[in-house]
Amino acid sequence: MKNLKLLGLVALLSAALPAAAAPAPQPAATTLTIHADRPGAVINKDVYGQFSEHLGSGIYGGIYVGKDSPIPNTDGFRNDVIAALKDLHVPVVRWPGGCFADEYHWRDGIGPQAQRPVRVNHNWGGVPETNAFGTHEYFEFLDLIGADAYVSLNVGSGSVQEAMDWIEYMTSDQDTTLARLRKANGRDKPWKLAMLGVGNETWGCGGSMTAAYYTDLFKQYATFVRTKPEARPQVIASGDHDTTTDFTESLMKNARGGLDAIDFHYYTILGPQWENKDTATGFGEAGWINMLANTLKMDGFIRQHIAIMDKYEALHRQGPGPHKKVGLYIDEWGSWYQPEPGSNPGFLVQQNTIRDAVLAAANFNIFHKYADRVRMTAIAQTVNVLQAMILTDGPKMLKTPTYWVYDMYQPFQEATSLPLDLKTGTYKYGKWSVPQVSASAARASDGSIVVGLANLDPHRPAQVSAVIAGAHEGQVKGRLLTGDTMDAHNTFENPDAVHPVAFDSARLSGNSLSVTLPPKSVVVLSLR
């Protein structure tokens, strides 16, 4: 009986004691060799491009509020949004769509705003489109943030003549009727048109076309891009999406003249059906790893299209002509979730978390690997739509975790890519598995070596041991982006909950670099 009482007392005391803390997860080992002695292609600044469509409050309310708005603005453009985008050094902005582009008639968006026709935006919410933001406003926006123009032509419901007229209106420096009209509307000199998209998603919302039909149509439009040689934009064909390759195959085989690039679209969703989308916040670990595993498919898609492009360029090449002449432009990409509860489902409003930041960094690291072909990308979209840089609510504005990844990766713009060998462990959950660490490296324009790293594991740190072949750097500085939870995000009440901080867990000695990456993190290092 005494022994029973003693056992009971021990049990009672044990229950009263605090539970022992679970041991911290041990860092997983990753090895990395950066070949500074084998420089590759330059990472075009346009890889960090943006996409702004007439969709929800992406333009109206997000970028443009009108001159009479109480929200501080310059000629109707939000001062806070302009300043934030200018800080990113946005290189190029694709406009006016997207699906919207193939219902957009450019003459609706010129002249006095009060006299512009009001249309219905059939693609996005069925709401009125005032056309208050048109060609002149677009180019003024670009001037304010220092970006180049990527204009998408209306092929789905437009005509070659309409496209020719718009190109002349934007680019002509001669005394023509359309140039006079531009001057009468307030712009004396022609604008610089860097890129011209011939249609959008012509396999779907842009006209439900076959690859063969669109290829012939592309050749027709490309023939009538009439500018002076020095003013000619890059001409970009509407290409494939997800697993399809029909358009790339047809265009590379049959549309050799006037083709500067083919676009490709891929949105990361839960899948496998398009309707199966996760919530932007409040998700579990299955949602975390599922999205990251699906976004890494981008690497295979790019390789598949490059193989087709290489094949036909080799067949068509005569003499020592340029290799990799046609670019592969990923001008719509990013995460796509269920719309925020209570929002118009056609406005594609979603929050943006540390999961999206890791997803963005992983895609950048893929794009850098194929810098010789992937010379432009545009995330969807800049403000208030899908994986946005910025969210606004009336006069309020916040920068999302994805914004901060763009900010951290700025040194990669116009840097020379450096090949690397990466050996990393596997992060697994349920039926899904992904490499724990994603990485890329480049020689920046200031001579430093910049390294981008992402730890896809939300629980375990990653111990990275790197060797820089062909270089001996003396200093390392870094920035870190992470969050307390998998869905850590910024709110209008707490807009700085997720933001970069100085990173001091990297050690450099000669050509050896040691880095400890926190879980669910993005780190960018500068080695000098």
Residue with tokens 């302009």: 82
DSSP state of 23: P
- What angle do the packed helices 79-88 and 135-145 form, to 10 degrees? 60
DSSP state of 485: S
Answer yes or no: 275 catalytic: no
Q: Read off the tokens for 453.
A: 């790293």
30 phi and psi angles, rounded to 5 deg: -135, 135
Answer yes or no: 414 catalytic: no
Exposed / middle / buried, residue 208 (Cβ in 10 Å: 0-12, 13-18, 19+)? exposed
Residue with tokens 């992406």: 58
Contacts of 296 (CB under 8 A, 6+ apart): 362, 366, 434, 435, 438
Report in angstroms the alpha-carbon separations of 229 from 151, 177, 197, 198, 322.
18, 21, 18, 18, 19
Report in angstroms the alpha-carbon separations of 139 from 92, 124, 143, 193, 384.
11, 23, 6, 10, 20
Q: DSSP E strands: which ranges in 254-310?
A: 261-268
Q: In what order do the strands lie in the sheet with 506-509?
A: 420-423, 28-35, 462-469, 512-517, 506-509
Residue with tokens 């020719």: 164
Of 129, 168, 201, 249, the active-site residue reads 201
Of 140, 332, 340, 473, the active-site residue reads 332
Q: Read off the tokens for 106.
A: 């450019």
Q: Please state whether the peptide bond connecting residue 186 to the residue before it is cis, i.e. omega within 30 degrees of 0.
A: no
Q: Which of 286, 287, 199 is nearest to 239 (CA)?
A: 199
Q: List residues with catalytic annotation.
A: 201, 332
